[in-house]
Structures are given as C-alpha cells and as structure tokens.
Amino acid sequence: MSNFSSKQLLQKALEARRNAYAPYSGYLVGACLLGKDGQLFTGCNIENAAFGPSVCAERCAIFKAVSEGCRNFTAIAIVGGPKDTPEEDLAPAYPCGVCRQVMAEFCEPDFQIYCGTPEHPERYTLGELLPKSFGL
Ligand SMILES: [Zn+2]
C-alpha cells in the first residue's frame, strides 16, 4: 500500500495538468496514477490537429506505467477543466468511457478513482464508474 493521500494525488494531477496540450478543446486534464509498488506516473491530455490521435491524461499515465513495466495499480487522481478556470474553481472531471475501459484492463473493481480538486476530493471505485465492463 502507499502513503499517498487522495489530496496528494490530486495535487500531483493538478500539477501534471499544467503540461496539458489542448489547443483545440481548451480543456486541460492532468492525472496521477499510483502503482501498487508506490510508483507514481503522471499524465496529461495531448491533442492533435487530426483529433483521432489525441490521448486523455488517464491513458497517458497508464500507458507510461505499463511501458515501464508497472501493471498493478491502486488509484488514479484526475483533475480537469477549461483552461481559463482558476485551479481552485475547477469542477470534478470524470474519466471518459475509453479510459474506464483501459482501467478495467489493468485494474480490479476496487481500484480507486479520485476526481475533483485537492481541497474537494470525490472518491469512486472503478466498479462504480464502469459496472459490467467488457472483458474476455
Ligand atoms: Zn479518457
């Protein structure tokens, strides 16, 4: 288990959000993924003029982790919102359906998903946000 609180993970997600590349939507997202071994992997959304190649912050973090050999996770924190919204005023941003499915590939139903801000965290499990997920 880790020593990271939801507040700490959301703070790191907020910091990762500052690296988001979202010139088309103007919607900046950061994520911080916690491995069961205590490693942290951050991600941000990265858009593309062709839209299709764009990637969400959550998948950015998960793919970074998997590519570095980490496949077991405890939690992810997600912070997102329009670029002009002050960080302290951000409303909760929830993972899209594609990211939920990617989480289901590597995570158990009790995987923790923190949304909101460090000061106003919301806590869900993957099983709550993606019941009856697809799997082979
Ligand atoms: Zn997504």
Mean pLDDT of all residues in the chain? Answer: 96
| pLDDT confidence band for 3 (50 / 70 / 90) | confident
User: 109 alpha carbon to ligand 1 midpoint, in Å?
Assistant: 18
Contact 66, 92 (CB under 8 A): no
CA of 80 to the centre of ligand 1 (A): 11
Does 1 or 68 have the greater pLDDT score? 68
Pairwise CA distance, residues 70 & 79, whole Å: 22
Predicted pLDDT of residue 2:
58
Decide: residue 64, CB within 10 A, 0-12 exposed, 13-18 middle, 19+ buried.
Answer: middle
Tell me the average pLDDT across 97-118.
Answer: 97
Where in the sequence numbering do the catalytic residues fall? 58
| pLDDT, tens digit (0-9, with 9 covering 90-100), for 32-91 | 999 999 999 999 999 999 999 999 999 999 999 999 999 999 999 999 999 999 999 999
**Residue-level pLDDT at 128:** 98
Q: What is the pLDDT of residue 107?
A: 97
* CATH numbers and ranges of domains, the chain: 6-129 (3.40.140.10)
Taken in order 124, 63, 26, 8, the sign of the CA dihedral is positive
> How close is the Cα of 102 to the center of ligand 1, in Å?
9
pLDDT (tens digit, 9 = 90+) per residue, 15-32? 999 999 999 999 999 999
1 pLDDT higher than 60: no
The pTM is what?
0.95
Specify the DSSP element, H or E, that contains 8: helix 6-17
Calculate how far, in angstroms, residue 56's C-alpha sits from the geometric centre of ligand 1. Answer: 5
